[in-house]
């Protein structure tokens, strides 16, 4: 039995210990945001925006860059499925070892180089992987392509050669992460584009503040005044112009053609993209036939009659807080909010096809088209597979219509 005195003594000891432990804990929690004190970090948003937060964290945006692990890498490490062959004696083997997951290059059976998977980019159609070398980031030679369910040569790489040397530049991360700090580098040149980063500054995934802008003042204000139900210190979306709303997405969805005069990481909702761009005297491309489907939804949509004749923006069809991938019936409902009998602008095929149409306007009017920028190569250096992306040039596509009609007719006959 412990005496009363000893018990009291222990209690006295425990109190400061608990205080120290909680202090340490909250100290850890409040690790300063690499973007500065005006940022609060996404985790702080959950206390007041629980529903938005809990659905948002499952979206492709939030998951676009993640630590590489067996959960985030979808390619196989099992024997028989873990080797990519270039067809000329060069192979890359995906290896599970203590200390991590590796890509190992072999030429005629001899190991040349092995690097660890550190970061996974993507996850829907394709995944690509990055590794750290000191403060530098490089892309690994092998990517994963969902349509093939297999490893592929990373897009744009030489078809016959294993390449571990492609540097990752800041621009890549501006679209695929929330922040990374590029270190000043006096040696950068046209031939040496490798940049160095402050490794600890990387904030993976596209977080709340990457779109909405810094939120620390907003959080502090509403924590202090919980009775105030109108947003303070946060851009109000209702008050934005159509162009401002479009620009909030176009910063990452208008292709990779623009050169910005300041860090794209500082772009936030309500800003005007035109002010971010270096002078560009090239004429604007408005020809949908030459706009690539990959990464340029903004310009393709702008070339559509739908867009020209209405006030639509990206949010007319997308709720970015929700994972809606593949839910074509839901998207079709959004088409029908404008295209309905009452408005005399419903689909011309509606009288003939009726219900069969309503669940899927998309495959006929926004078909998936091959990208010219990205091509995918299967193992053995034989198969070239197209990289398909939904076009945002909304129009009538006779070839796709024929295919879908044939499909509907076949179903009817069953
Ligand atoms: C202490 C509570 C609190 C926290 C924490 C909080 N918010 Fe808010 N937020 C509010 C309130 C209250 C409103 C106004 C009512 C509403 O729209 O829900 C609001 C509204 C908003 C709006 C809508 C603006 C508009 O009117 O268009 C956005 C966007 C927003 N918050 C983003 C964030 C982000 C990002 C974070 C995390 C960095 C965050 N909030 C954290 C309380 C909070
Ligand atoms: C910081 C850059 C960035 C901004 C800002 C941004 N996006 Fe994206 N978006 C991406 C990237 C990168 C992907 C691909 C993510 C992936 O699959 O890894 C993507 C994917 C998507 C997808 C496909 C999602 C899926 O499930 O496959 C939609 C839809 C989309 N964005 C819409 C929008 C809309 C609408 C806005 C504006 C409100 C917007 N995005 C703003 C970078 C951005
Ligand atoms: C890809 C850009 C993007 C990201 C990332 C993003 N939002 Fe939003 N958010 C928007 C847009 C666009 C709207 C306006 C939607 C509309 O008007 O239809 C919006 C609206 C809101 C609103 C007000 C309307 C509502 O739905 O309640 C809140 C609150 C909000 N966002 C909070 C958050 C929080 C919290 C996060 C992170 C968990 C987040 N957002 C991440 C683009 C984004
Ligand atoms: C200007 C913005 C932008 C830049 C720069 C950019 N991407 Fe993307 N990336 C996107 C968008 C938007 C998508 C998805 C939509 C699409 O394909 O149109 C995407 C898709 C991807 C995907 C497929 C994601 C999936 O879930 O299927 C991978 C992998 C990827 N990008 C890797 C990279 C890498 C690696 C870099 C840098 C070397 C890079 N991207 C540079 C915007 C960008
Ligand atoms: C914000 C309202 C709105 C939404 C949402 C909308 N549209 Fe439209 N769309 C229009 C308007 C307005 C026109 C022009 C009609 C006209 O000139 O009579 C149009 C035109 C079209 C055309 C004719 C194109 C051409 O080149 O002749 C097609 C096809 C079309 N829309 C399909 C769709 C599909 C599919 C969706 C959903 C993915 C959709 N629209 C969503 C407003 C909208
Ligand atoms: C008229 C409706 C409509 C509008 C407006 C619209 N989208 Fe989409 N978007 C869709 C549909 C439908 C899909 C296909 C969804 C699917 O297959 O899961 C899609 C898919 C996407 C994808 C994924 C493409 C792929 O194949 O991987 C991205 C990225 C995207 N939209 C971005 C945007 C951006 C950015 C804007 C504004 C410039 C925008 N969208 C405006 C209807 C629309
Ligand atoms: C099987 C393919 C197919 C499907 C599914 C389909 N459409 Fe169409 N749509 C067409 C074709 C083909 C035309 C052109 C018909 C013509 O001009 O005679 C057309 C025409 C249109 C037009 C232009 C009408 C005009 O006045 O010129 C609109 C708007 C439209 N569709 C919207 C939709 C919407 C909304 C849906 C989903 C509810 C849908 N379509 C589903 C093939 C399709």
Span 347-392, pLDDT tens digits: 988 888 777 788 899 999 999 999 988 878 777 656 678 899 999 9
Span 39-67, pLDDT tens digits: 999 999 999 999 999 999 999 999 999 99
Residue 70 has pLDDT above 90, yes or no: yes
Taking the centre of ligand 2 as the mean of its atom positions, its distance from the CA of residue 364, in whole angstroms, is 23
- The pLDDT score that the predictor gives to residue 285 is 67
Q: Are 140 and 129 in contact (CB under 8 A)?
A: yes
**What residues line ligand 2, using a CB cutoff of 6 Å?**
60-61, 64, 122-124, 175-176, 206, 210-211, 248-249, 251-253, 314, 318, 320, 325
230 pocket-lining for ligand 1 (C-beta < 6 Å): yes
Handedness of CA 334, 335, 338, 344 (dihedral sign): negative
- For residues 391 and 370, give the distance between their C-alpha atoms in angstroms, rounded to a whole number: 9
270 pocket-lining for ligand 1 (C-beta < 6 Å): no
131-150: average pLDDT: 95
Task: Kindly report which listed range (79-83, 212-216, 254-258) carries the lowest average pLDDT score.
Answer: 254-258
Handedness of CA 128, 134, 136, 141 (dihedral sign): negative
- The pLDDT score that the predictor gives to residue 20 is 39
Average pLDDT of the residues of the chain: 88
Residue 136 has pLDDT above 90, yes or no: yes
Taking the centre of ligand 3 as the mean of its atom positions, its distance from the CA of residue 314, in whole angstroms, is 13
214 pocket-lining for ligand 1 (C-beta < 6 Å): no
Taking the centre of ligand 2 as the mean of its atom positions, its distance from the CA of residue 61, in whole angstroms, is 5
Residue 9 has pLDDT above 70, yes or no: no
122 pocket-lining for ligand 4 (C-beta < 6 Å): yes
- Around Cβ 169, how many Cβ atoms within 10 Å? 14
Taking the centre of ligand 7 as the mean of its atom positions, its distance from the CA of residue 99, in whole angstroms, is 55
pLDDT class of 194 with cuts at 50, 70, 90: confident
328 pocket-lining for ligand 1 (C-beta < 6 Å): no
Q: Which atom of ligand 7 is nearest to the CA of 404?
A: 1
393-410: average pLDDT: 91
Q: Which of 205, 211, 222 to mutate to test the pocket of ligand 3 (most atoms within 8 A of CB)?
A: 211
**What residues line ligand 3, using a CB cutoff of 6 Å?**
42, 45, 49, 52-53, 56, 61, 206, 208, 210-212, 237, 248, 315, 320-321
399-412: average pLDDT: 85
Residue 25 has pLDDT above 50, yes or no: no
- The pLDDT score that the predictor gives to residue 16 is 42
Phi and psi (nearest 5°) for 312?
Answer: -65, 150
Q: Which atom of ligand 7 is nearest to the CA of 405?
A: 1
pLDDT class of 14 with cuts at 50, 70, 90: very low
Taking the centre of ligand 4 as the mean of its atom positions, its distance from the CA of residue 325, in whole angstroms, is 16
Whose Cα sits closest to atom 6 in ligand 7?
361
- The pLDDT score that the predictor gives to residue 189 is 75
- The pLDDT score that the predictor gives to residue 380 is 65
Residue 19 has pLDDT above 50, yes or no: no
- The pLDDT score that the predictor gives to residue 219 is 98
| Tokens coding 229 | 């139900």
- For residues 325 and 308, give the distance between their C-alpha atoms in angstroms, rounded to a whole number: 25
Task: Kindly report which listed range (267-271, 275-279, 320-324, 326-330) carries the lowest average pLDDT score.
Answer: 275-279
Q: Are 64 and 121 in contact (CB under 8 A)?
A: yes
Residue 11 has pLDDT above 50, yes or no: no
- The pLDDT score that the predictor gives to residue 15 is 41
Taking the centre of ligand 6 as the mean of its atom positions, its distance from the CA of residue 76, in whole angstroms, is 30
- For residues 414 and 404, give the distance between their C-alpha atoms in angstroms, rounded to a whole number: 16
193-199: average pLDDT: 90
- For residues 345 and 339, give the distance between their C-alpha atoms in angstroms, rounded to a whole number: 5
64-82: average pLDDT: 97
């Amino acid at each position: 039995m412990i005496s009363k005195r000893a018990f009291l003594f222990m209690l006295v000891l425990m109190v400061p210990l608990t205080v120290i432990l909680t202090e340490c804990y909250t100290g850890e929690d409040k690790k300063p945001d690499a973007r500065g004190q005006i940022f609060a970090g996404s985790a702080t948003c959950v206390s007041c925006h629980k529903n938005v937060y809990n659905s948002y964290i499952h979206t492709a945006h939030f998951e676009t860059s993640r630590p590489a692990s067996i959960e985030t890498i979808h390619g196989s490490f099992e024997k028989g499925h873990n080797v990519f062959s270039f067809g000329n004696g060069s192979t890359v083997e995906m290896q599970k070892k203590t200390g991590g997951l590796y890509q190992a290059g072999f030429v005629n059976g001899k190991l040349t180089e092995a690097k660890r998977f550190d970061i996974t980019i993507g996850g829907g159609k394709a995944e690509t992987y990055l590794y750290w070398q000191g403060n530098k980031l490089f892309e690994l030679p092998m990517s994963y392509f969902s349509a093939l369910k297999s490893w592929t040569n990373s897009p744009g790489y030489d078809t016959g050669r294993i390449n571990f040397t492609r540097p990752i530049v800041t621009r890549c991360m501006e679209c695929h992460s929330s922040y990374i700090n590029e270190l000043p580098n006096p040696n950068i040149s046209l031939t040496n584009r490798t940049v160095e980063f402050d490794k600890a500054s990387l904030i993976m995934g596209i977080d709340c503040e990457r779109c909405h802008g810094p939120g620390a003042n907003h959080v502090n204000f509403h924590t202090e005044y919980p009775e105030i139900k109108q947003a303070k210190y946060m851009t109000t979306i209702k008050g934005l112009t159509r162009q401002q709303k479009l620009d909030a997405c176009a910063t990452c969805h208008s292709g990779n053609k623009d050169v910005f005069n300041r860090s794209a990481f500082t772009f936030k909702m309500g800003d005007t993209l035109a002010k971010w761009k270096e002078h560009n005297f090239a004429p604007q491309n408005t020809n949908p036939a030459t706009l690539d489907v990959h990464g340029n939804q903004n310009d393709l949509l702008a070339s559509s009659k739908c867009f020209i004749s209405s006030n639509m923006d990206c949010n007319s069809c997308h709720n970015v807080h929700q994972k809606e991938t593949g839910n074509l019936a839901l998207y079709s409902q959004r088409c029908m909010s404008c295209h309905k009998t009452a408005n005399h602008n419903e689909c011309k095929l509606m009288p003939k096809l009726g219900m069969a149409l309503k669940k899927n306007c998309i495959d006929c009017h926004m078909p998936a088209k091959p990208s010219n920028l990205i091509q995918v190569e299967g193992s053995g250096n034989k198969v070239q597979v197209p990289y398909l992306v939904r076009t945002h040039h909304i129009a009538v596509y006779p070839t796709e219509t024929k295919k879908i009609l044939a499909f509907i007719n076949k179903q009817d006959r069953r």
